[in-house]
Structure 1
């Protein structure tokens, strides 16, 4: 299960049934959960904590020091949940003094050549397609999908159940349940298909669409739109998720619909 041609530091902790293929290197202070497979030529540096039943494909580099000139060698980690697949040549950097960790949740798929920078927080069931570049301090919530070759600016937040078109330049926050496309990145509707696949009812999806009509289609600024939403639309978990996301945005949210 562990190739004699790999290097495993004596202070690394590997669970039961971990497979490590030839020419991979696992440094000290690494924890790997049971049933995880590590392909050839993978490097896992100190500070990585990897959950059960993950798959890490050849060429991946996990928990390298951050590409941040402010980094002063502080102790930090990369934490990866269970059942997550990390494809070829993915790189995930350790945290800095800001959060001291970079996290990727459970049941995620990071396709080939994805980069996740320092202090990023990636939720559960997230799909990030090939060659997406995620800058530092980015937050990507549960069930989000990021199309291939997109670039996400530092400190951006991507809301739950959102879908970002391939090749996008993501400079502003992407609210939950939306589709984002075009240049500059703009509202392209509610992610109805994804929501149906995850069990959302037609009534709930219609309610979400009504919220976004106020925000993106009624020519209101965000503050006024939020006031109108809270006055005119019934309180639901989805409505409040959207309202709280918009109110807490520090970078501002993407543009409304552009014809």
Structure 2
């Protein structure tokens, strides 16, 4: 049997692994599934069609799996099933809000694995959050935002709907992110501007000096060479083969730039 505090309200239809711990006054709805080793703190509400993986920790007072705050959702919803899917080993601190998806995209809000999510973070409908990300206090992701692996989003930052943030990117404190942020790039300020390559993050993750050099060259082509975006993309493509171990990083950058729909921060 899961360890459920006597004051918690867990619907009999909810599926909780026997090693789940549920704290005082938590509320868990009938369509919730929670994997092994996960801890649900006091006063958390987990509802909707929500699937949670292994070894997550939810601190007190979070709202997980509530319907989206999309003002058009009630008017346009046609009965499609929407859900929230959370992976393994995530830490979710106090007062966070994660919403289920909408039928406007694929109906799923997803949170990957090994993310560190600090207090008051909001993850809106249809957000796709990768793995190993850090979201500092009061970071707010609007609907349909996509965030790559190992990204860092600074405290009090707001990310506009449909924005994409690339892998290993870093958003500085109080960032107002209204355009896509390419992989590996650090941005901050108001208005938002690209500042440098996120070298500290890359070094922590074991990127070799050769890979870092190619990433710095891509950054220079995008931001310091006076090239148009199309010219920069072509020049970045021509870097392939110069350091074979960095070819995957080049592909990641080119794929991101090709898919950018809101323009990139420049």
What range is the shorter-chain TM-score in? over 0.9
Aligned match of 1:228 in 232, 235, 239? 235
Q: Using the TM superposition, give the Cα deviation of residue 228 of structure 1 relative to its aligned residue in structure 2, in angstroms.
A: 2.1
The separation in 1 between residues aligned to 2:169 and 2:222, in whole angstroms, is 16
Tell me the number of residue pairs that the alignment of Structure 1 and Structure 2 aligns.
Answer: 255
CA shift for structure 1 position 46: 2.1
Cα offsets for 1:144-178 (capped at 9, x unmatched): 00000000000000000111101000000000011
Structure 2 CA distance for aligned equivalents of residues 133 and 231 of structure 1:
37
| C-alpha deviation, 1:232, in angstroms | 5.0
Equivalence map 1:165-176=2 (5 Å): 165-176=172-183
Distance (whole Å) between structure 2 residues aligned to residue 230 and residue 38 of structure 1: 47
TM-score (norm 1): 0.96
Query: What's the counterpart of residue 80 of structure 2?
Result: 74
* 2:154 pairs with one of 147, 160, 167: 147
> Structure 1: how far apart are the matches of 2:188 and 2:151?
14
What residue in structure 2 maps to residue 30 of structure 1?
Answer: 32
Find the counterpart in structure 2 of residue 86 from structure 1: 92
Unaligned runs of 5+ in 2: none
Distance 2:15 2:122 in 1: 25
* TM-score between the two structures when normalised by the length of structure 2: 0.93
Q: How does 1:1-259 map to 2 (within 5 A)?
A: 1-71=3-73, 72=77, 74-97=80-103, 98-234=105-241, 236-255=247-266
Any gaps of 5 or more consecutive residues in structure 1? none
Give the RMSD, CA atoms, in angstroms: 1.1
Aligned to 1:106, what secondary structure does the other structure show? coil
Q: Following TM superposition, by how much is the alpha carbon of 1:70 offset from its aligned partner in structure 2, in angstroms? A: 2.4
